[in-house]
Every structure is written in structure tokens, then in C-alpha cells.
């Protein structure tokens, strides 16, 4: 199946796992020095509509967790169309829905995945991203580790050039100067064209190169088509 992102596509009129489209991680990471990361990609499915054997409609929310070591990820529009096509099947319970989702996604991305309750943003100290350029680091007077939420992050979809908005969560030991520096650095993505996963991996690579002390970085991107993508990487 061809990549459907950025193309006008009719909604499927039958159950359509053939619409799922894989994207190779190694292709996405060509611009990075680091080729392997530790973490996962969480896909919040907020509009999971399915129909039981009595033709009763059910609306559920789930999270799909994919290890970032998988050879492939799934293109988001193809996942949305696949999820929407589930209404053309009938299921005894939500467990049957999860089973068929798990089967087809694992076949596509070639690794085991987990289906969980929908993921919610953690509590954190809130800071605002600044529209700026570059990165610097003040290693003096480090504060105790804390979870920070940098709000107002923006990048661009490399296919449609539409803006992608996110809250960036970083668990790290940052003094006030470094908090300001990171907020300004994150603003440098304002016109950058990159998929969500690559944005987070670029941030991990850049902060490591400047010897920032952090344990994880997580991007909670706003949902599109009922799906929110949340890449999480550990240092």
C-alpha cells in the first residue's frame, strides 16, 4: 500500500488492514548521529469506535506502545483509516478489538507491542517555549532533578507542512539559566520539518551533546484524526 499522508483518501467501506503503511526508522534517522535509542512511541487512540455482535456501538480509548527499537513505525494516516475500518467488523468484546489491532500492527512493524489504558500527561513544572535559535548550557549550580513541561513547542509536518503542536516533558536537573536556554532551543524547531519521533530524538541528541543531565524526554503532540502521538526517549 502506498503512503497516504497528504493525499485525499476516501474512507474504507470494509475492514482494511491492507491500508497500514510502514515507515523505516533508519530512514528517519539519517540526519542523526545516533542511530539507536531507548524508549517507546505511545499512540493514544481517542476515537476507537467498534460494534458488537448485537450491532451496539461502543466508543473506547486505548494507548498503543511501540518500542523505539522496532524496525518500522506505522504512518499515522494509515493507522487512522485502519482504526476507522474496524466498524465493518463485529466483535464480542473490546478484547477482540484489541487482539485484531495487535495482530495487524505487529505484523507491520515487526516487533511486539502493548495495548494499555489511554496515556495521560503527567504533572510537571510548566515553562513556555521561546521562538529562538541555537542551544547553550550553563553547567554550574545544578538544581535537583525535576519534571519540566515546556509548552508551546511547534514543528512542521514534512509532508503537509502543517504545524504540529506539543508539550515537551523533560525530567532533568536544570538551573534557571538552563531552563531558559532549553526553552529558547526548543523554539528553534518552529519552522523545522520533521515527524514527531525525529523531533524528540533530535532533542535528545542535542541536549546530550551539551552535557545536559536528564533521564527522559517526552513529546505529547496534539491529536489529529483522533490519534495523539507521544514519543518518549531515555538518556
CATH number attached to the domain at 17-117: 3.30.1130.10
> What integer pLDDT is reported at residue 7 of this predicted model?
55
Active site residues: 157, 164
> What integer pLDDT is reported at residue 214 of this predicted model?
95
Tell me: the pLDDT tens digits for 25-51? 999 899 999 889 999 999 999 999 999
Same fold, 17-117 and 125-234: yes
Tell me: the pLDDT tens digits for 67-97? 999 999 999 989 999 999 999 999 999 999 9
Is CATH 3.30.300.30 correct for 125-234?
Answer: no
Q: What is the spatial distance between Cα 58 and Cα 47, in angstroms, rounded to a whole number? A: 10
Tell me: the pLDDT tens digits for 90-128? 999 999 999 999 999 999 999 999 999 999 999 999 999
Position 133 pLDDT exceeds 80: no
Q: What is the spatial distance between Cα 203 and Cα 12, in angstroms, rounded to a whole number? A: 37
Residue ranges per structural domain of the chain: 17-117, 125-234
> 168 — alpha (psi -120 to 50), left (phi > 0) or beta?
beta
Helix (H, G, I), strand (E, B) or coil at 54: coil
Strands (E), 88-183: 114-117, 125-128, 146-156, 163-172
Q: How confident is the model at residue 193 (pLDDT cuts 50, 70, 90)?
A: very high
Amino acid at each position: 500500500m502506498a503512503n497516504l499522508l497528504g493525499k485525499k483518501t476516501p474512507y474504507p467501506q470494509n475492514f482494511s488492514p491492507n491500508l497500514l503503511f510502514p515507515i523505516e526508522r533508519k530512514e528517519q534517522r539519517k540526519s542523526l548521529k545516533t542511530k539507536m535509542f531507548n524508549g517507546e512511541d505511545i499512540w493514544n487512540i481517542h476515537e476507537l469506535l467498534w460494534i458488537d455482535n448485537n450491532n451496539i456501538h461502543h466508543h473506547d480509548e486505548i494507548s498503543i506502545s511501540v518500542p523505539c527499537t522496532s524496525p518500522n513505525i506505522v504512518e499515522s494516516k494509515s493507522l487512522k483509516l485502519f482504526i476507522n475500518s474496524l466498524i465493518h467488523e463485529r466483535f464480542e468484546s473490546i478484547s477482540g478489538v484489541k487482539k485484531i489491532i495487535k495482530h495487524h500492527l505487529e505484523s507491520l512493524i515487526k516487533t511486539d507491542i502493548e495495548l494499555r489504558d489511554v496515556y495521560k500527561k503527567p504533572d510537571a513544572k510548566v515553562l513556555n517555549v521561546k521562538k529562538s535559535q541555537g542551544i547553550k548550557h550553563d553547567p554550574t549550580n545544578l538544581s535537583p532533578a525535576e519534571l519540566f513541561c515546556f509548552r508551546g513547542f511547534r514543528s512542521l509536518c514534512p509532508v503537509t507542512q502543517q504545524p504540529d503542536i506539543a508539550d515537551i516533558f523533560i525530567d532533568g536537573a536544570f538551573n534557571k539559566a538552563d531552563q531558559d536556554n532549553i526553552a529558547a532551543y526548543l523554539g528553534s524547531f518552529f519552522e523545522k520539518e520533521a515527524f514527531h519521533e525525529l523531533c524528540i530524538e533530535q532533542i535528545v541528541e542535542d541536549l546530550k551533546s551539551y552535557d545536559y543531565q536528564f533521564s527522559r524526554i517526552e513529546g505529547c503532540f496534539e491529536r489529529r484524526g483522533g490519534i495523539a502521538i507521544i514519543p518518549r526517549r531515555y538518556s
